Structure 1
Amino acid sequence: PLLDTRRGKDLMGTFLSDIVLQVLSFVAENERTNIRQRQAEGIAAAKARGVRFGRPPVPLPENFCQIHMEWRSKRITLKEAANACSMPVGTFYAKAVRLENEH
């Protein structure tokens, strides 16, 4: 009834409605802050236990190194190399760069 703006449009009714809305807003914002803090603590605890987040990496196809060498020696194009490995061009390129940086 305090938030019903259809009646009590006098100064006191408006004042009370504003106060109630401010209190509810504060409570909601405070609860959201607490949720974020608990979530961050849970994520930190899970990482400390060794939990890995996200999708598991897909292993490279067996022919990846051979196709990578053919692509780098310019015998095949990037698109042909990606198609030979059954992966998108961007994925092939990213995995190729990662492989080169590891070696």
Structure 2
Amino acid sequence: MESRIYGYARVSTKEQNLDRQLVALKEQGIDERNIIVDKESGKDLDRTGYQALINTMLRRGDTLIIKSLDRLSRNKCHIKKELERFKENGVRIKVIDLPTTMIDFPEGQEWVMEMVNNILIEVLGTIAEQERNSIKQRQAEGIAAAKEKGVDLGRPKAQKSENWESIIADMRAGKITATKAMELTGTKRTTFYKLLNS
């Protein structure tokens, strides 16, 4: 069976852009149909695209190309585990930002590449994990600072519409139904009754 080349791209949120990664992967000659994308956090491996890739698509002899190591995960243990999985299953991994992984060494010299890559992966895995921890810390500090300033980080409180009082008066007088009152005030059922009882 002919070996295939797959690409994998990931961003953490739906708002982030995959373009830079996709361009880099296409430059490696990967067919667009063979590029799997996820818009999910790198905190764990439970991502729809990634799971489909490793469980149903990649076969022995295939190659997986990613832009950078932290696209696999931002957790060092996960990175190591996945690299071991690829090795055991005979899948070659190439990381565009790690040029030594892109070189095809002569037969019998693969151990040199493996040694260099193991050192780089150890270092970059640590960096990826530290970056994730820094992001979490910055988020926690931002939330704490906002709370200190009295910023309410919950959902914005529901507001009564300008015509609220007159419409409620009509409803209480039996001129309109509660459903009609909801429609006229532009409020959903739960919000309507919450405001009515506030």
- Tell me what 2:152 maps to: 52
Q: What is the correspondence of 1:69-80 to structure 2 with a 5 Å cutoff?
A: 70=171, 75-78=176-179, 80=180
Per the alignment, do residues 98 and 55 of structure 1 end up closer, same or farther by CA in structure 2, a change over 3 Å counting?
Answer: closer
Shift of 1:40: 0.7
- Flag structure 1 segments of 5+ consecutive residues without an equivalent: none
Please tell me whether residue 15 in structure 1 is matched to residue 111 in structure 2: no
- TM-score w.r.t. the length of structure 1 is 0.65
Aligned residues: 97
Identical amino acids, percent of aligned pairs: 34
In structure 2, relative to structure 1, the CA distance for the partners of 1:53 and 1:37 (3 Å cut) is same
Give the structure with the higher percent strand. 2
Tell me the residue number matched to 1:36: 136
Which segment is superposed worse, 52-61 or 38-47? 52-61
Say what the alpha-carbon RMSD is for the aligned residues: 3.2
Report which of the two structures shows the higher radius of gyration computed on alpha carbons. Answer: 1
Structure 2 residue 195 is matched with structure 1 residue 99: yes
Q: Which has the higher helix share?
A: 1
**Superimposed CA distance per residue, residues 6-28 of structure 1 (whole angstroms, 9 cap, x where no aligned partner):** 23652132132133123212211
Describe the shift of the 1:58–1:95 C-alpha distance in structure 2 as closer, same or farther (beyond 3 A): closer
Q: Secondary structure at the match of 1:26?
A: helix
